[in-house]
Every structure is written in structure tokens, then in C-alpha cells.
A and B are shown apart, each in its own frame.
Chain A
Amino acid sequence: MAEWLKEVEPLTLKGQIAVPYTWWVGDRGSRFLVSIRDNRKIIGTKCRECGRVFVPPRKNCGRCFIDIEEWVDVASEGVIEAYTIVHYAHPVQPVEPPFAYALIKLDGTDVGFLHLMKKDLDKIKNGLRVKAIFREERTGHILDIDSFELI
């Protein structure tokens, strides 16, 4: 132990940084979230060069380095590619643990879509089919999809 700790009480100072931000969601993100809000419909974009379908939709392809123009309808069902069941809590989590995160390959897409699972945690496995559960009250937010459930 440092000598000075024997001579004086080490003080602490509590702080909190709470900075408001208002992020514009952008072209692709706005169309995606509005589609979920108004029509309960998940949409993606398709790169004409590599053919990958992205969800959430992207405006450019990092690999091909070109604009992505084409919109495609995407299923609200898909397959679990990887998951974890979370047993610890922190203030940013939208649900109490235990719950799961899963990367879900929605039918008609080529990437994993990250979202929550809240039910049947003991039955979750990679390769199982799941479907999106939409909230009744939707506001144009990623949590307008409440979670995914096993089919």
C-alpha cells in the first residue's frame, strides 16, 4: 500500500455524464424502421455486385465499395445462427436476465440480424427457426420488434 494512504483518507468524487443526442437515422434506417412501424414488415437492401442482402438495410457495401440501390422484402422468420443466454444485468438491457441474444438469418438475407429472445431459453439451439414478435405500440424503433420466438 502506498505510504500516503496511511496519512490521509483517499477521497472519491462521483460523476455522471448524461449527454442528450438526437441521431438522424438516415435514408436506409428510416425506411426500415417506418416499414416495421407502419406495416410490420422487415425490408433489406441487396448489393448488385456480391448479391448479399443486408438487414438492417445498408446504403453501401463495404466489400464491393459501391452504392446499394435495390430494396427487397425480407421474411420476419429465420434461423438462429448463434446465441447466448445472458445471466447478468446492467442498466442498458431492455429486459431482466435471463434472456438471450441471437443472430438470426432471416429468410431471404445473407447476414445475421441481432435481436432478443425472451421465451423458451432452455430450448434455444443454433439452426432452430424463429419468428419476429411485433409490439402493438410501435414508434419507429428497433424495439418495435419486441423479440423473436421459436416457431
Chain B
Amino acid sequence: MDNAAIVGVAQTKYERRKKDHIFADLVFDVTRAALEDAGLTIDDIDSVVTVSNDFFDGRTISGMAVGDASGGQDKNISTVSGDGTFGAFYGLMRVLSGYKATIVVAHYKGSEGSLPITTNGMFDPIFHRHLGIDAISSAAIQANAYLTRYGIREEDIAQVSVKNHGNAKHNPFAQLPMEITVADVMKSRKIAEPLKLLDCCPISDGAAAIIIAGEEVAAKCKTKPAWVKGVAHCCEEYFLGDRDLANPVALRDAARRAYAMAGIRSPMDEIDIAEVLEPFSYMEPLWLEGLEFCKPGEGGNLIGKGITTMGGKLPVNPSGGALSANPVLVAGLARLIEASLQVRGDAGARQVKDAGTALAHGFNGPCGQSHCVWIVSGNR
């Protein structure tokens, strides 16, 4: 693969209700801020990818409504309706196919629609939608399958929420920095067993943008580039019942291909920090198993051993993760932004020491049907 890098990043602060910003305001703010971060102007950009979902936004061709704000006027612009890591993948493909620099910008306002109704819409309209299943209740089925398979306790996954809300205190963009205990998680309101309120992400508003460029543009940017060393995505079956929900095979496949591209043989030894998309607490250990940081069933032990905490061998979600802010679609791009900031050394109070290589992960579809894995490095 030719060299390509993430040369500029920007995020809004994530909040429950952004009443002072419409979609285009959010997109314009982060697009300009990402250009400023890179030291580029809109004239340096020849390709734009927006990330949005028509059902979430309540308008068809939702990308077109932010065409101007994303800098897409008079340019090659199209939309990815899926997680931001997949939008970034498309942006990278454009750069590798000859465009000089691509803006990838994602937006979402959970405050304006109905998450249960819109996520119910991702299920089969004939066999599943009428049952009322949605993102939360399907995740709860996966949590049940995973916890019972390996005898993982609810207290074990509660620790993820404690860690990530605690990490969020060092991230100025996070929505829910909180000092909480396992007992607080355990006694929070039951949502869909075994998930309780504090096992679940909040509803969030926000936007994020990155600029991906080839070597020519990267050389003139003012920011240290986060070089793309490996990236892959993979998808598994659509119907929940066709899948082994406790075994994320698509993630394992994507991870292996991304590692192979990056020349990584032992992820736990060669990756310094990981940002994974975990809108529900159980997802972090399950995805860490899929990413082969540990064996199947051992993900629940990593946090107890201090491996995934700040200062551990592999800090996971120093930003606070999606548990601390989950603007859907934007949240995966935020993971990639956080990984990039880490390898640049620009992650502020949440910086992991000597973060040379970072992993970012996002997913699409119920219970992680499709996963995208990125490896970025400060070294070309």
C-alpha cells in the first residue's frame, strides 16, 4: 500500500442536546477545525466523504444537506451510511486511488430522533421488526450469550464502565466523565438484563472530521501525520440467530488482515493503546477477544489485572470510549481520531506514554455485525 496518513482531526464536544447547532453547523465547525489542525485550506482538498444515516437524520440523501458545510461544493462528494471508521476506509481508498486529500466528516444528533424506533429499523421487516427488537435489546441478548458462555460476572463488565467513565474525566470532548463504582453500576436501573443503565452508552449529539492525505500533502501539513499502517473490515450474517454472538468472527478476520498489513505478529506486545467502540460495557472485553489481545473468554479478566487501565500494558479507551459519549456513526471516527492523537503525542491529559502504535475499531449493525480495524503509527 502507498503511504497515507491522517493529517488533521477535529471533534465537537459531545453533549446530550446541542440546541445551539443544526447538523450543518456541526459539520462546518469540525471541517474547518480539521483543516486548521492540518494547516491546510479547503483548496488543498479534492475529495469529500460525509457520514450520516437518512433514518437517523429524518431526511433522505442526508449527506447532501451538509454538502456545503463539509467543503464539498464543486468537489467529488459522496456519503457512507455507516460507522465513521467505514467512512474513513472509503476516504483512504480515494486517496490511494489518486485524490490528494480527502475530508471525512460524520454527524449525528441523538437528541432529535428516537433511537429505539430508528434502530428497530435495522432489523428484517418481515420476521424481526414487529417483535420490537432494537439496538439495546439485541445487545442485551449478546451480553447474555457472552457472559453465560464464559461465566463472566456482571461485576466484571461493570468495571469497564467504571474505567471508561473515569478516563473520560481527562477528555474535554467526553459527555459523561464520572467517578463511579462497580456498586453504582450494579444498582443502576435495569434496562435489558443483564444490562443496567450504567452498562449503556448515553444518547449524544456531535460531529467529527479527519483529513486523510498522501505523502505529497502530508509533507506540507503543520501537524505530525498519523500514518495508516493497516486497515481491514469484515462482515458476518445479518440474522442474529445465524451468528454465534459470543464469538466475533468478523472482527477476528478484520483484525488479522489489518495486523498482517501492518506487520504485527503479537498485538499485545506491538500495540501501545486501543480505542474500541463499546456502546455497551460487555463489548469492550468481547471485542478485545476478537482483536486477539487475549484468548476467547479471557477478555473479562484484562481489566481486573490492570492491563487495560491507564498505565497498564494496553490502555483501552483512554478517551472514555462510547460509554462516555455515543454519537452513533461519529463514535467510530472518534476512536480513529483518538488513536491518531495518541500516536501524534497530542492527546493531552489522556495521553498514553510512548504511544508509537495505536489501534482504532468501529462497527456497523446489531451486535457488531461488521467490524473495521485501523492501525496507525507516528512512524512512516
**Chain A residues in the interface with B (C-beta under 8 A):** 1-2, 4-5, 10, 12, 15, 17, 21, 23, 25-26, 29, 33, 54, 56, 62, 81-88, 90-95, 101-103, 111-116, 126, 141-143
Contacts and interface: CB of A to CB of B under 8 A. Distances in A.
B256 to A, nearest CB: 18
B57 to A, nearest CB: 11
Given A87-B192, A112-B240, 11 more contacts: A2-B21, A21-B125, A88-B116, A88-B191, A90-B117, A91-B117, A101-B138, A101-B141, A111-B239, A114-B128, A126-B144
B137 interface: yes
Nearest to B121: A92
B220 interface: no
Interface of B: 19-21, 58, 114, 116-117, 120, 125-134, 136-138, 140-145, 148, 189-195, 237-242, 245
B193 A85 contact: yes
A115 B191 CA distance: 18
19 contacts: A1-B20, A5-B19, A10-B19, A33-B126, A56-B126, A84-B141, A84-B143, A84-B195, A88-B192, A92-B132, A94-B130, A101-B140, A103-B141, A111-B241, A113-B241, A114-B240, A126-B144, A142-B128, A142-B131
Nearest to B19: A10
B363 to A, nearest CB: 18
Contacts of A113: 241
Contacts of B126: 23, 25-26, 29, 33, 56, 142
A115 B193 contact: no
Nearest to B194: A84
B127 A29 contact: yes
A99 B137 CA distance: 11
A120 to B, nearest CB: 14
B58 A15 contact: yes
Given A81-B145, A83-B144, A90 B128 contact: no
A103 B190 CA distance: 20
Contacts of B237: 62
A85 B192 contact: yes
A101 B131 contact: yes
Given A10-B19, A88-B192, A54 B137 contact: no
A44 B58 CA distance: 37
The 10 closest A-B pairs by CB, nearest first: A112-B241, A93-B132, A84-B140, A90-B116, A2-B20, A82-B145, A85-B193, A84-B192, A111-B241, A92-B132
Contacts of B145: 81-82, 103, 126
